[in-house]
Amino acid sequence: MGILRLITGWPGPSGFGSATTAEQVTAGIDAGDLTVVITGGASGIGLETSRVLALRGAHVIIAARNVEAANEAKQNILKSNENAKIDVLQLDLSSLKSVKDFADNFIALNLPLNILINNAGIMFCPYQLSQDEIEMQFATNHLGHFYLTNLLLDKMKNTASSTGIEGRIVNLSSVAHLHTYEEGIRFDSINDKKSYSDKKAYGQSKLANILHANELSRRLEEEGVNITVNSVHPGLIMTNLMKYSLNLMRIMKLLTYLLWKNVPQGAATTCYVAMHPDLKGVSGKYFLDCNEWPASDFARNPTMAKKLWDFSNHLLDSALQHS
């Protein structure tokens, strides 16, 4: 695919490329039978993903930390599509209690669950610990989604089994997974403040998103479950995610302006992987610009993926015992 295709937007093997929008990749798809949970679905590419999936008929549950902003986003979607099926539930991914409360509240609605889009995240924030005493970027971007996925998995399995419709889980990662700590994931020093790097900690969390998707994909395939799990890089988009490094990002965008996408383009790969019929049965892959792409050596390491799975469960057990 290469840098030229990224700049020109020339389509890849899928027929789509960096210039493709979320509406274009979902054109003609009827999602009327589908229920979707999307974290961070009230702003940026998450909001565009919510809007487009609702436009195709899906029942979209926006999981958002700021319920007021999410309800405002819901109203904006309804203004342009009065038939949109949108609900809002509160979720703070940095709090394991909030994740559990969200899952309980969703399950109480007695809805099916066809698609889970782990979209929300924070980026380049100064060193801080979550209320569960875990480094904030790892806690929010990876562990919160890991726990949420675990809690919703039985619902997804039951839905896939009872409806015969393939379930799909999409983890939003980033090309930033290439820029992580030397050992990939710092299993022995996840909370170390002295050697903390906001950029590498972000890259570590995005690497964890891919490893999580790959290991879960392997486990579901082993079980024979009709659910796929993939990860995506949405592209370079200027959103609120960059609030901690806005000036740096503005300079970067000035120097690399040809590589940046607008929000409709940024949501395209997520929507493609979540809904496109061509990806039926495709699992454990990493996508960029609506095409499969090789992730880093760390990201494709099954031993590291298994180690992260066990490490994440250990972190959860420890944090939940002390909560």
Active site (catalytic) residues: 196
- Sign of the CA dihedral with 95 first, then 100, 106, and 112 last: positive
Q: Do 214 and 269 touch, CB atoms closer than 8 A? A: no
85-90/35-39 β-pairing: unpaired
- The whole-angstrom separation of Cα 201 and Cα 177 is 10
**φ, ψ (nearest 5 deg) of residue 132:** -95, 10
Q: Do 208 and 141 touch, CB atoms closer than 8 A? A: yes
| Single-letter amino acid, residue 20 | T
What contacts 184, CB < 8 A, 6 or more positions away?
A: 204, 207, 298, 301, 304
